[in-house]
Amino acid sequence: MRFRGLFATLGLLGTLLGGASCLGEIDDYAQQPIATHVTDWRDEVIYQLLVDRFADGDTGNDVRVDRTALGRYQGGDWLGVIQQLDYIQRLGVTTLWISPIVRNVDTDAGFDAYHGYWASDLTALNPHFGDLAMLRRLVRECHARGIKVIVDIVTNHMGQMFFYDINNNGRPDEFLGGSGDVSGFQNPGGARSPISRVTEYDPDYNLRGPVQAFTSLGPAGDAPVIFLNMPEIFRVPPRSDILPSQAILARPEGYHRRGRITTYDNVSSQPGEQTLLGDFPGGLKDVNTEDPRVRLAMVEAYWRWVELTDIDGFRIDTLKHVEHGFWQYFGSQIRQRATRAGKQRFFMFGEAFDGDDRLVGSYTNPNEMDSVFYFPQKYRVFDNIFQCGTATPGTSRPSTPSGSATSRRRRSPRASACRPPRRWSTSWTTMTCRASSME
């Protein structure tokens, strides 16, 4: 069994690390026929599934699987989804939304990338789930049943592929300084200093610019960015042999380099500086989406998967952490390419995790999202009623003069940019929709 696991691991690594010829074969396949598979997205029943947690159809890719620990891979893959399509169809599902498909930093700080949100290469597939042939088969078999396929994508950040060399010693460190309020023995007359902690993987946000290096004399300019080279867990810079545009994601200027968000600031119902520019907690490096080179890299990488698989839409992560200018560019570029390829009504919806109606609704402005999840409903209903046991804000508890309860219905305000007042059917929440590109 130990040898079998070793061979499986070597085979998995070889799939992605075997050189340009191995990866280049993906682009040698005949382009997948692209077609329009939907009439009106408002009629769709969308079912979300996390591939790793759904069904294990191929034990040959069960590398790093540990079913005793939920923070590790559990073995689900695209073949497992294919084998359960009868079940999915019986549920009444007409659109399948699957978790991210691209290669990730495989494991970090004791947890695995089973969810798919730690991308390390946007041009390679995650081998835990299968290969291109299996992904194409999944999409093809879904389409044969009248089921559309949406893929989850991330443009805001990449996985933890580099560290900030704050102390200029060339290695990633975490260090403590100061004495704090100590008890027990102290040197007589010893002064105290506050305890400070610095991690070069995930330093706090710098309000003045890029994360700073320092010496005993004080700040020493921008901290060098050092990309890690750990191919055994796919923690390596993105490669650019398939798409040259990806080279910017292997360079420091492809990232904001401001450090970890410490406060999710909003200003006038729009994301503030830290929300837009800061690294996502956990060391996920915030991409410099204002840079035209980065914008092109994202469009080319994600459009390529549409060409190769004939998927029908994107669910997009962390909308509010990226500026509107990026979404206007990305949305228009993807739609133009889809139209030219003969795929009409390519659907893009996303997650702006916020309780502000105006902020959430703003991502359905022209050329941005077709729809967004209505997270203000979560804050009003789930948090206020189920978690806190209080009334929904903006409503009152009605009563008659005699004190007996009566029913009065008030509608929570909806995002003004989102219309018509019709909800999408999804697996776990509701979305608001914009009419323009839905018909």
Q: What is the DSSP string of 286-345?
A: EB-TTSHHHHHHHHHHHHHHHHHH---EEEES-GGGS-HHHHHHHHHHHHHHHHHHT--S
CB 151 within 8 A of CB 100: yes
In a domain, 401, yes or no: no
Rounded to an integer, what distance in angstroms lies between the CA atom of residue 16 and that of residue 228?
17
137 and 114 assigned to the same domain: yes
Rounded to an integer, what distance in angstroms lies between the CA atom of residue 77 and that of residue 131?
10
Query: Domain containing 270 — which CATH number?
Result: 3.20.20.80
Residue 407 reports pLDDT greater than 50: no
Q: How confident is the model over 280-304, as a mean pLDDT?
A: 97
Sorting pLDDT into bands at 50, 70 and 90, what band is 21?
very low
In a domain, 139, yes or no: yes
Domain boundary at 325, 351, 377, which?
A: 351
**Residue type (1 letter), 325:** G
Give φ, ψ of 43 to 5 degrees. Answer: -95, 0
Tens of pLDDT, residues 367-379: 999 999 999 988 8
153 and 274 assigned to the same domain: yes
Rounded to an integer, what distance in angstroms lies between the CA atom of residue 38 and that of residue 3?
47
CB 271 within 8 A of CB 320: yes
Domain boundary at 351, 380, 395, which?
A: 351
172 and 304 assigned to the same domain: no
Of the two residues 316 and 355, the one the predictor is more confident about is 316
pLDDT above 90 as % of the chain: 70
70 and 217 assigned to the same domain: no
In a domain, 389, yes or no: no
- Tally of structural domains, the chain: 2
Tens of pLDDT, residues 41-80: 999 999 999 999 999 999 999 999 999 999 999 999 999 9
Tokens 């999804």 sit at which residue? 426
Asked whether the CA dihedral 239, 245, 246, 248 is positive or negative, the reply is: positive
In a domain, 146, yes or no: yes
Of the two residues 344 and 15, the one the predictor is more confident about is 344
220 and 128 assigned to the same domain: no
In a domain, 312, yes or no: yes
Give φ, ψ of 98 to 5 degrees. Answer: -105, 155
Write the DSSP symbol of residue 65.
Answer: B
53 and 142 assigned to the same domain: yes
Of the two residues 328 and 431, the one the predictor is more confident about is 328
Residue 198 reports pLDDT greater than 50: yes
Q: Residue 291: name the closest of 236, 349, 251, 332 by CA.
A: 251
- Compute how many other C-beta atoms are within 10 angstroms of the C-beta atom of residue 393: 11
Tokens 């909308």 sit at which residue? 319
CB 314 within 8 A of CB 95: no
Q: Give the pLDDT confidence score for residue 182 in this predicted structure.
A: 61
- Compute how many other C-beta atoms are within 10 angstroms of the C-beta atom of residue 368: 23
Q: How confident is the model over 293-312, as a mean pLDDT?
A: 98
Stretch among 39-53, 125-139, 203-217, 237-251 having the lowest mean pLDDT: 203-217
Sorting pLDDT into bands at 50, 70 and 90, what band is 260?
very high
Sorting pLDDT into bands at 50, 70 and 90, what band is 386?
confident
Residue 165 contacts by C-beta under 8 Å, 6 or more apart in sequence?
171, 172, 200, 213, 223, 224, 225, 226
In a domain, 358, yes or no: no
45 and 140 assigned to the same domain: yes
138 and 171 assigned to the same domain: no
| Residue 309, CB-side half-sphere exposure with 13 Å CA sphere | 27
Sorting pLDDT into bands at 50, 70 and 90, what band is 382?
confident
Q: How confident is the model over 203-208, as a mean pLDDT?
A: 95
Residue 190 reports pLDDT greater than 80: no
| Residue 132, CB-side half-sphere exposure with 13 Å CA sphere | 22
In a domain, 390, yes or no: no
Domain boundary at 319, 335, 351, which?
A: 351
Rounded to an integer, what distance in angstroms lies between the CA atom of residue 77 and that of residue 267?
41
Residue-range definition of the domain harbouring residue 263: 2-161+240-351
155 and 200 assigned to the same domain: no
289 and 156 assigned to the same domain: yes
205 and 252 assigned to the same domain: no
pLDDT above 70 as % of the chain: 80
200 and 311 assigned to the same domain: no
Tens of pLDDT, residues 179-188: 776 656 666 7
Q: How confident is the model over 297-315, as a mean pLDDT?
A: 98
Rounded to an integer, what distance in angstroms lies between the CA atom of residue 370 and that of residue 38?
14
